[in-house]
Amino acid sequence: MKYKILSKTKITEKFTTEKLIDLLLKNRGIQTKKEKELFLNPKLSDVTIQSVGIDIKEVEKAKKRINAAIKNKEAIVVFGDYDVDGICGTAILWETLNMAGANVLPYIPHRVDEGYGLSIKGISNVKSQMPKVKLIITVDNGVVANKAVEFAKAQGIEVIITDHHTFGKVHPKSFAIIHTKRLCGASVAWLFSKAMGSKDQSHIELCAIATIADLVPLVGLNRTVAKLGIEKLKTTKRIGILELVEEAALDLSKITSFEIGHIIAPRINAMGRIEYAMDSLRLLCTKNKARAKELSKAISETNRKRQTLTLETTTEIIGKVKKAIGNKKLVFVSDEKYNQGIIGLVAGKLVEEFYLPSIVVSKGETVCKASARSIKGFNIVDFIRCSSDLLVDVGGHPMAAGFTVETNKLLLLQSKLEKLAQKMVLPNLLKKEIIVDCEIPLTLIDLKFVKELEKLAPFGPSNTTPTFLTKGLTVEDIKLVGVDKRHLRLVLIDQKTGTRSYSIGFGLSEKAKNIRIGDKVNVIYTLSVDEWNGNQRIQMKIKDLFKST
């Protein structure tokens, strides 16, 4: 695998940790004193309606309409989404309006029965549950729901949209639109809730979870929300989160973006993937400890089912694709048995396996639902929109998208997209490379150094975990570990100084075929502190290694 070193600065064991932090910040585009201060010591007061570019006139218009609805006791529905971002945002806005005395109910659409976002079917179901509804407020959806908004208006329902997704060619003719692409959907709902007068300090915790889960860039104001929200989350009083953390056997005081992204968020997401997401919303909002415990157990069990289903589906598809991919530049697979709730996860796994833009389609009798994931530098939603004439709808981001297509047009769509991909996916995009911050000597690494790196957290898109290169280390011990022996455990030593490193390479068992004890290797890695029985040890997490030349 190729790698690119961002800084060519020669770093020796005399290099101070402070200087190295400055270098890492420079690699992330943070150079001036003011930029460093904002990055390292963010203030929540910097995150405002104005600073994220939300139209204040739309906010005031929406506030006036909602306050009138509260005063007149009109029925209001907060219409969310079934992913973590939508669920957290719905909790925030529903709690805010409920505390303000509104006659308000939350609503999460069913992924299979209703599909994503505000829809005609979703509105019809809302009306069946709340016949006198007069106002719908969306969360994390709505900016492409033109037909649904028109349908609502025809039913005598006004719609206020809060969203962060990309607009279509024509904006919906809703009552008001609270929109920015600079935050996740839950954070948009949080800012609007604050404008409505909410003082609930716990809502920033939900924003942090949503920000991490939605994979938005962790820079600027998103970083502020995530960093300060995670700090607040460590002392949360929200019963549902406490029970979910206990069920997952996590130490809340040590929670990071990793635990949120890989353990907490998947559990919240699981219900919307293969069951119904309302239980995840109930978990976040309940004040009853027994109910929270019951819900967290059910959600964790559903997540285990989701994991099994994802693994089975991915394994089957990888086998098929390996036989048929040839020189294609797009993975496009479809089947009636693919569960709609996991096709996005499977598409992501296919990108990891083949490093090609990947589309997975769940076929239905009359319509098909699809999820797409992309590679760095290739805007998947714009690519799919090149075939809008064949689609029922499409939405998403540059790296992830979803669409609906009529089943009788699926083969035509596949053919068109595969031909387009051959032209649009340029060869340079297919060369996967690891971004390395800098080359450092092993002697520079100690516990203080690793803990200083944590100042740059939370890590995620656009603020990745610092990655280093160290050359000429000698392999002192090598083992394959894990249930299926897929992981590589190494002890590496700098023979000049005698400094050792204990290392793990997840999924790197293939590397053991070409490396023996005594070989000199160059290693690309990140660093973490491994704790066991009160003892701390630095662990090198290997991303790649190869023999020194």
CATH code, 140: 3.90.1640.30
Residue 508 pLDDT > 80: yes
Give mean pLDDT, residues 57-81.
Answer: 98
Quote the CA–CA distance of 509 and 480 in Å, as a whole number. Answer: 6
Domain count, the chain: 3
537 and 513 both lie in a single domain: yes
pLDDT in tens, 261-271: 999 999 999 99
409 and 426 both lie in a single domain: yes
> In the prediction, which pLDDT does 353 show?
94
Give the dihedral of Cα atoms 433, 181, 310, 339; nearest 10 deg: -140
Q: Where residue 14 falls among pLDDT bands split at 50, 70, 90?
A: confident
Q: Where residue 531 falls among pLDDT bands split at 50, 70, 90?
A: confident
Residue 22 pLDDT > 90: yes
The owner of tokens 């218009």 is 61
Quote the CA–CA distance of 91 and 268 in Å, as a whole number. Answer: 13
Give mean pLDDT, residues 34-42.
Answer: 93
**Contact status, residue 407 vs residue 362, Cβ threshold 8 Å:** no
Q: Where residue 460 falls among pLDDT bands split at 50, 70, 90?
A: very high
Residue 533 pLDDT > 80: no
Residue 191 lies in a domain: yes
455 and 426 both lie in a single domain: no
Give mean pLDDT, residues 19-36.
Answer: 93
Quote the CA–CA distance of 468 and 524 in Å, as a whole number. Answer: 6
Q: Where residue 536 falls among pLDDT bands split at 50, 70, 90?
A: confident
Residue 13 pLDDT > 90: no
89 and 119 both lie in a single domain: yes
Alpha carbon of residue 105 to chain centroid? 27
The pTM for the full model equals 0.92
Residue 1 pLDDT > 80: no
Going by their DSSP bridges, the two strands 438-439 and 468-481 should be labelled as parallel
> In the prediction, which pLDDT does 549 show?
79
400 and 515 both lie in a single domain: no
55 and 106 both lie in a single domain: yes
- State the DSSP string of 184-199: -HHHHHHHHHHHTT--
Q: Where residue 432 falls among pLDDT bands split at 50, 70, 90?
A: confident
Strand partners, 160: 137, 176
**Contact status, residue 350 vs residue 360, Cβ threshold 8 Å:** yes
- State the DSSP string of 375-420: -TT--HHHHHHTTGGGEEEEEE-SSEEEEEEEGGGHHHHHHHHHHH
Give mean pLDDT, residues 458-486.
Answer: 94
Residue 396 pLDDT > 90: no
73 and 141 both lie in a single domain: yes
Q: Where residue 445 falls among pLDDT bands split at 50, 70, 90?
A: very high
Q: Where residue 365 falls among pLDDT bands split at 50, 70, 90?
A: very high
79 and 194 both lie in a single domain: yes
> In the prediction, which pLDDT does 199 show?
95
Residue 473 lies in a domain: yes
Give mean pLDDT, residues 306-311.
Answer: 96
Going by their DSSP bridges, the two strands 499-505 and 468-481 should be labelled as unpaired
> In the prediction, which pLDDT does 455 show?
93
Residue 490 pLDDT > 80: yes
Q: Where residue 170 falls among pLDDT bands split at 50, 70, 90?
A: very high
386 and 458 both lie in a single domain: no
**Contact status, residue 263 vs residue 244, Cβ threshold 8 Å:** no
Residue 279 lies in a domain: no
Query: At residue 323, what is the residue type?
Result: K
Residue 93 pLDDT > 80: yes
Give mean pLDDT, residues 306-317.
Answer: 96
CATH number, position 333: 3.10.310.30
Of 430, 445, 469, the domain-final residue: 430
Residue 88 pLDDT > 90: yes
494 and 442 both lie in a single domain: yes
Residue 293 lies in a domain: no
Q: Where residue 515 falls among pLDDT bands split at 50, 70, 90?
A: very high
Quote the CA–CA distance of 179 and 344 in Å, as a whole number. Answer: 25
Residue 153 lies in a domain: yes
Q: Where residue 169 falls among pLDDT bands split at 50, 70, 90?
A: confident
Mean pLDDT of the chain: 95
Residue 330 lies in a domain: yes
Is 178 in a helix, a strand, or coil? strand
Residue 141 pLDDT > 90: yes
Of 430, 453, 488, the domain-final residue: 430
Take residue 488 and report the two structure tokens written for it.
Answer: 């590589």
396 and 539 both lie in a single domain: no
**Contact status, residue 66 vs residue 135, Cβ threshold 8 Å:** yes
Residue 402 lies in a domain: yes
400 and 478 both lie in a single domain: no
pLDDT in tens, 190-204: 999 999 999 999 999
Residue 234 lies in a domain: no
Give mean pLDDT, residues 453-462.
Answer: 94
Instruction: Find the domain containing 167 and state its range.
Output: 47-200
Q: Where residue 168 falls among pLDDT bands split at 50, 70, 90?
A: confident
> In the prediction, which pLDDT does 534 show?
76
Give mean pLDDT, residues 5-11.
Answer: 92
- Work out the percent of the chain whose per-residue pLDDT is above 90: 91
Of 148, 166, 200, the domain-final residue: 200
- Work out the percent of the chain whose per-residue pLDDT is above 70: 100
Quote the CA–CA distance of 141 and 145 in Å, as a whole number. Answer: 8
Take residue 198 and report the two structure tokens written for it.
Answer: 């909410």
Low-confidence winner among 2-6, 139-143, 161-165 (lowest mean pLDDT)? 2-6
Residue 535 pLDDT > 90: no
CATH number, position 480: 2.40.50.460
Q: Please report how the helices 56-71 and 185-195 are oriented relative to each other, as an axis angle in degrees rounded to 10.
A: 60
